Structure 1
Amino acid sequence: MTGGGELRFALVGHGFMGAAHSQALRVAPAFVDLPLAPVMATLVGRDVAATRAAADRWGWRSTAADWHDVLDDPEIDVVDICSPGSTHVEIAVAALEAGKHVLCEKPLANTVVEAERMAEAAASAAERGVFAMVGFSYRRVPAVTLARDVVRSGRLGEVRQVRAQYLQDWLVDADDPMTWRLDKSVAGSGALGDIGAHAVDAAQFVTGSAVTEVSGTLHTFVTERPLVDESVATSGLGGVAGSERGAVTVDDAAWFTARMEGGAIASVEASRFATGRKNAFRLEVSGSRGAVAFDLERPNELELLEVDGPDSGFRRVLVTEPEHPYVGAWWPAGHGLGWEHAFTHQLSDLVVALAAGRQPTPSFADGLRVQRVLDAVERSSGAGSVWTPVG
């Protein structure tokens, strides 16, 4: 690792998630007192011109067309993976073996076998002081972290039910073109892995309990879509659709019921066909003495009910006070934060953990646990929605 109080990053991929991670790297040092200064060293992308343009926009110092190049660069400390799921295992394992810390977008991999390989590589690297983290950014939304604190404190009593929904509608039009996210060989799964993974991780994070068994259903509403130029489709940037159509090989929506450690029952829905819902993520935890509910469409609020409180209804907690998780680094009390701030908090937590020489969370082992739940849902759906154990 390089010295001088800096942590030099290489980012693989500069699409939607690459932009979110770049924004976090740009903003975090201005608001958070970090023990090491994150440096935007190298942006990696296959299209040289597009990568250079993205680097200039976001402030990356240099570019590379091949991710192998940054593994050989002694100036790079962290490899941040924002490329499609099919690339995660190869890049992450190689980076860890090269002595680079790794931040990898969720879901960890496309299969349990790949995720196991990544978790094993991370465990081996950790013994050498090299660490890996998976990017479940919603853990860093202040209201979600506060919900975790409330549940773990015991104020809600025995956790009995968990309800999670993640609803989008960007695929409702059957004539929208194919993208890599609709190709199982590249994306691994559809709504289940893309947004259902967030719901699974948030449920386990807030409650502190793992999903142990599932009964699930996957469905694809539109089985064919117009094809575009392959290079454009793979980039995830869209393009002009042609007359030829290609097969959609992932799910459009997923539903499952789950049993959790401690006896709680959970219900999870993930859909990219929920007409009118743009990015609607909701999590509710019901206990014997109260409940909490979070809605991403109102990201600075947490609904809290305590049976032992002054009334029997939910009350709104405005999560904008300096004593709330993460909020103290930002604006005066009452001024809300947005979706992108979760990535800043994620980056800050990673830098703090690496500077302290300790494992950042969520780890690749945590990512593997989520991957096993996704796999169990897929197996359950294929077997007629039978109850299927996780693990």
Structure 2
Amino acid sequence: MTAAGDPSGSAPLGVAMIGYAFMGKAHSQAWRNTAAYFDVPAIEQRVLVGRDAGQVAEAAARFGWAETATDWRDVIARDDVHIVDICTPGWTHAEIAIAALEAGKHVLVEKPLANSLAESERMVAAARAARERGVHSMVGFNYRRVPALAYARRLIADGRIGTVRQVRASYLQDWLADESALMTWRLRRETAGSGALGDIASHVIDQIQFLLADTVTDVSGRLHTFVEQRQGPEGVEDVTVDDAAWATLSLAGGALASVEVSRVALGRKNSLRIEIYGSHGSLAFDLERLNELEFLDGTGAVVEQGFRRIVVTEPEHPYAGAWWPPGHVIGWEHTFTHQIRDFLVAIRDGTTPNPSFEEGLQVQRVLAAIEESAAAKSVRL
């Protein structure tokens, strides 16, 4: 294996991670643990980057990073850094990712790819140019690495539910249900790009296209902001993104999908539910029961039909064989370990990681189309 910036291919790959909050914590545990469970190239957690020197030093000590820095530009110029993991807000993704790719570093960037189509397109162009030099990139849609969802994709590809006709998908949270919840960068368009749409609908759109191995071709959408003002550090501010979004999607293969996402759905903490209905069977998944997949085989006698529960913990299931004995469940954090595993294997084997920046751009196109549709006036009765 010859990694970017590592001509010998024998030394461990040096990793720099930019950002250390929620996603930084999740990614850090994956970088720490992947080699303990999977056969992957050796890595070293070289440097953690953040704007606040004190806070980033504290995070590095907790998360296992060897050193810290406050300027990502200096870090991507280092010869001992071969991989750059971007866990910063979306409005920073394009600048950092493009610079890192041009510097010859492999890049993993958290979803969504960027805050705009223009930024996403520039990132794809940089990724394509870098790929020709053996430099790889991937966008982090970690739910592709849930064993139950990876197994659902396999069942669909094998024809176990026949032709997919209809998908119902929702992602509901309630962390903004309280009107007194404070203003954050996620509620400002200039930093977040969009609200629930870009934050959690991006996961839903990626899952629909991933599970069906298909592409969305047209959309109809609706966005809504229920709490229009919130208290910020300097007084009351206008919320300039959506709290919830709805969409109907058509896919190239003929299936139709309905999507609902919300960050004000009181009582739902992190509820991603996907139902897939085919001509010969159906599947259902709920993130709050991450190790389970519901499967209905519609080819048998009607009097015996019904959803059955598959506990996706057997060695034959995707990723599961690397962990515990059969029947022992894994958690949300394991999806990031699987993500790092797949990224490192792709670097080692010289294959294109997935989801690629092109796939991330496709998700952004769907999100932009939903926003454009939502801007059209509805018909009043």
Per the shorter chain, which TM-score range?
Answer: over 0.9
After TM superposition, give the deviation of residue 4 of structure 1 in Å: 2.7
Structure 1, gaps ≥5 residues long: 229-241, 387-391
Quote the residue 2:375 is aligned against.
Answer: 382
Cα distance in 1 for partners of 2:198, 2:346 equals 27
Cα distance in 1 for partners of 2:149, 2:163 equals 19
Cα distance in 2 for partners of 1:205, 1:5 equals 34
State the AA in 2 paired with 1:74: D
Cα distance in 2 for partners of 1:218, 1:264 equals 23
Cα distance in 1 for partners of 2:129, 2:332 equals 34
Structure 1 segments, 4+ long, off by >4 Å, are none
3-state secondary structure, aligned to 1:189: coil
Quote the residue 1:332 is aligned against.
Answer: 325
Cα distance in 1 for partners of 2:173, 2:209 equals 22
Does 1:134 pair with 2:139? Answer: yes
Quote the residue 1:267 is aligned against.
Answer: 258
3-state secondary structure, aligned to 1:83: coil
Does 1:8 pair with 2:1? Answer: no
3-state secondary structure, aligned to 1:262: coil
Cα distance in 2 for partners of 1:350, 1:262 equals 29
**After superposition, where does 1:207-246 map in structure 2 within 5 Å?**
207-228=212-233, 244-246=235-237
Quote the residue 1:193 is aligned against.
Answer: 198
Cα distance in 1 for partners of 2:67, 2:341 equals 23
Does 1:112 pair with 2:117? Answer: yes
**After superposition, where does 1:331-370 map in structure 2 within 5 Å?**
331-370=324-363
Quote the residue 1:235 is aligned against.
Answer: none
Pick the aligned partner of 1:301 from 292, 317, 324. 292
Cα deviations by residue, 1:26-61 (Å, 9 ceiling, x for unpaired): 111111121x11211110000000000000001100
Cα distance in 1 for partners of 2:254, 2:238 equals 40
3-state secondary structure, aligned to 1:117: helix
Quote the residue 1:71 is aligned against.
Answer: 76
After TM superposition, give the deviation of residue 384 of structure 1 in Å: 2.8
After TM superposition, give the deviation of residue 385 of structure 1 in Å: 5.8
Q: Which moved more, 1:91-100 or 1:310-319?
A: 310-319
Quote the residue 2:239 is aligned against.
Answer: 248
State the AA in 2 paired with 1:38: I
Cα distance in 2 for partners of 1:93, 1:31 equals 31
The answer to whether the Cα contact below 8 Å between 1:216 and 1:385 also exists between their aligned partners in 2 is no
Structure 2, gaps ≥5 residues long: none
State the AA in 1 paired with 2:293: L
Cα distance in 2 for partners of 1:32, 1:366 equals 25
Pick the aligned partner of 1:288 from 279, 282, 285. 279
Quote the residue 1:28 is aligned against.
Answer: 34
Cα deviations by residue, 1:307-349 (Å, 9 ceiling, x for unpaired): 1146310100110000000000000000001000000000000
Pick the aligned partner of 1:91 from 96, 108, 113. 96
The answer to whether the Cα contact below 8 Å between 1:217 and 1:385 also exists between their aligned partners in 2 is no
TM-score normalised per structure 1 = 0.93
State the AA in 1 paired with 2:104: G
Quote the residue 1:177 is aligned against.
Answer: 182
Cα distance in 1 for partners of 2:46, 2:168 equals 41
Pick the aligned partner of 2:48 from 40, 43, 50. 43
State the AA in 2 paired with 1:218: L
After TM superposition, give the deviation of residue 263 of structure 1 in Å: 1.1
Pick the aligned partner of 1:165 from 162, 170, 178. 170
Cα distance in 2 for partners of 1:207, 1:366 equals 14
Query: Aligned pair in 2 of structure 1 residues 282, 353: CA closer, same or farther (>3 Å)?
Result: same
Q: CA RMSD in A?
A: 1.1
Query: Aligned pair in 2 of structure 1 residues 356, 272: CA closer, same or farther (>3 Å)?
Result: same
Pick the aligned partner of 2:306 from 302, 313, 331. 313
Cα distance in 1 for partners of 2:93, 2:269 equals 27
How many residues are matched? 371
TM-score normalised per structure 2 = 0.96
Cα distance in 2 for partners of 1:170, 1:176 equals 8
Cα distance in 2 for partners of 1:338, 1:267 equals 27
